[in-house]
Structure 1
Amino acid sequence: MTMLVSVGMFFLPMTEVLAEEKVPRPLGVQNNDLIDDVLSDWNFTLGAGAGISPDYEGSDDYEVGGLPIIEASWRDDTFFVSSVNGIGATLLRSEHFSSGVSFNYDGGRDDGDNSALRGLGDVDDGINITAFAGLDFGKYAFGVDVTQDLSGNDKGAVVSLGADYRFTYLDDRLMFEVGPDASWASGDYMSTYFGVDGKQASRSKYNQFDADAGFKDLGLHLNAMYALDEDWTMVGGVNYTRLLGDAADSPFVESENQFSSFLSVTYSF
């Protein structure tokens, strides 16, 4: 589900703080149990999420889907394994800056997902690598992700930019963040997901269309997290995206305005 991935788990730092605060290690107590010593550096999160999003980028038909949430983080995301964010590591970290890399599964696209895609063929699934960096000043945060296809499926690269303004209520148990998003896509990505080559034109109802590199979309998101207690957390969000340039002009794009929403409940320990 795209909307669950797109949230980027912005709230992970807060949930990790809650997890760390609830199991303090007693001062002066020597723990000789090797397993306890190893697990003390880890935080785990289990849960489930559901959401609604377009059938494909540019569709005006929507689908509902679910996703299990399984997170394991070692030493505040120095290394992490996630059903949402893939497998990765934070390589650089300072008071306000962090950056790293992750490997993620890309589900591609099937021409059977929607009647508008018939004749365009499937976009194969594969593996992406993402380099990420962010500045976090508490109330304000800024981030950039650069995602590159590693599967040789001509999916190219996407550069995603985002910013957040955060505010809290109910003694910091309820947190909101709102901000803009934008993404730039390479020529390979645009051709794969928005273009129509000669072979596709011959077997579909569309004329040939060349989609070039450029800014793909501009959007706005609103996310919220509510700490039900020190273990349970509810996260939800809504997103609006406006397709731009050749993405908006693609012959099989039915709507330039794209909406998505999600809701998840997690247990951290």
Structure 2
Amino acid sequence: MRLPYLTAIAPLCAVPLSAPSASAQTAGPASPDLDRDIVTVGVGAGFMSDYEGAKHHSFSPVPGAIGTVGGHDFAIIGNRASFNLIRRPDGPAWAIQAGPLIAVNFNRTSRSNIDDPQVRALPKRDLTIEAGGYLGISKTGMLTSRHDMLTLSVSYRHDIFGVHDSAIVTPNLQYFTPLSRKIAVAAFVSADHVGNGYMASYFNITPADSRASGLPAYHGRGGWKNWTLGAAGTVSLSGDLLHGWKLVGAATYSRLLGDAAASPVVRDVGTANQWLGAIGVAYTF
């Protein structure tokens, strides 16, 4: 399975798939939909670059499951999972979000998935797990209605297997709004700050790597790796976002920055402009 960095899509997909606040569009104060547990499972096709910084794209399956159980939100989207330890308050209100976060990094773990022959000649990287947590604050009833949501958060995760042995810090601003009981949309902006080890593993080229690949040797340092803009939406096929089948989709544009953009795997044979997308179906219980 190729899921190198679907963490860019995950912040978008997590809200529109279930859209619990959308029930209040037509439900009365006594509606059980406002308090019940809700779980959505889905599968789709993701269109993503072969490695971080590549020009070539291909399709990969993207599984997902999200929901709210006992007032706690959870999300499993592609290669990333999170759980909110703080119960969501009822109705329009400020809310604190905090909990564990884990991501599986598949970037350059298989040469067979890389189209460019020079990058394919570079050493492949072992699969690794990045674990950490996130902290955020959100407000419902913020802009367009009592049911939209604006969320500001920051996440921290660190490689626990020693592949790149560094941290990734991601501030994120996300806005979600239901347009009706059948349709919901979201948008976000984020950025990634990485350590020296991340840069060395995925963007630097040693003299030995240079001889094997023909790419020039390169040594960059950690810092702000990229910024990302994205949008997502869901359309209920059953007429209700809280029940039955729906179509879901998301797309992001990410711009690599600084030493990451200057790496030969990006500058010479790739591109700093990174596009990701996913489309699929889901079912809400």
User: Could you list the per-position Cα deviations for residues 93-113 of structure 1 after superposition, in whole angstroms to 9, with x for gaps in the alignment?
Assistant: 564210111333222313342
Q: Percent identity?
A: 24
Partner of 1:241: 254
1:205 matches 2:230: no
Tell me if structure 1 keeps the 8 A contact 2:72–2:86: no
Which residue type is aligned with residue 238 of structure 1?
A
Structure 1's 96 and 64: CA in aligned 2 closer, same or farther, altered over 3 A? same
User: Could you list the per-position Cα deviations for residues 124-175 of structure 1 after superposition, in whole angstroms to 9, with x for gaps in the alignment?
Assistant: 0022203112222134222222121101112522112221233442x34322
1:165 matches 2:175: yes
Partner of 2:91: none
Structure 1's 224 and 202: CA in aligned 2 closer, same or farther, altered over 3 A? same
Whose RCO is larger (CA < 8 A, sep 6+)?
Answer: 2
* Aligned-residue offset at 1:209: 0.8
SS for the counterpart of 1:49 is strand
Partner of 2:276: 260
Choose 218-227 or 47-56, whichever is displaced more: 218-227
Listed as ranges, the gaps of 5+ residues in structure 1 are 26-39
In 1, Cα distance between the equivalents of 2:200 and 2:46?
A: 28
SS for the counterpart of 2:72 is coil
Structure 1's 3 and 221: CA in aligned 2 closer, same or farther, altered over 3 A? farther
Partner of 1:17: 20
1:122 matches 2:135: no
Count of aligned pairs: 253
Which residue type is aligned with residue 141 of structure 1?
T
Tell me if structure 2 keeps the 8 A contact 1:86–1:102: yes
Structure 1's 77 and 2: CA in aligned 2 closer, same or farther, altered over 3 A? farther
1:104 matches 2:103: yes
In 2, Cα distance between the equivalents of 1:45 and 1:142?
A: 24
SS for the counterpart of 1:145 is strand
TM norm structure 2? 0.77
Tell me if structure 2 keeps the 8 A contact 1:108–1:126: no
Structure 1's 122 and 99: CA in aligned 2 closer, same or farther, altered over 3 A? same
Structure 1's 81 and 13: CA in aligned 2 closer, same or farther, altered over 3 A? closer
Which residue type is aligned with residue 268 of structure 1?
T
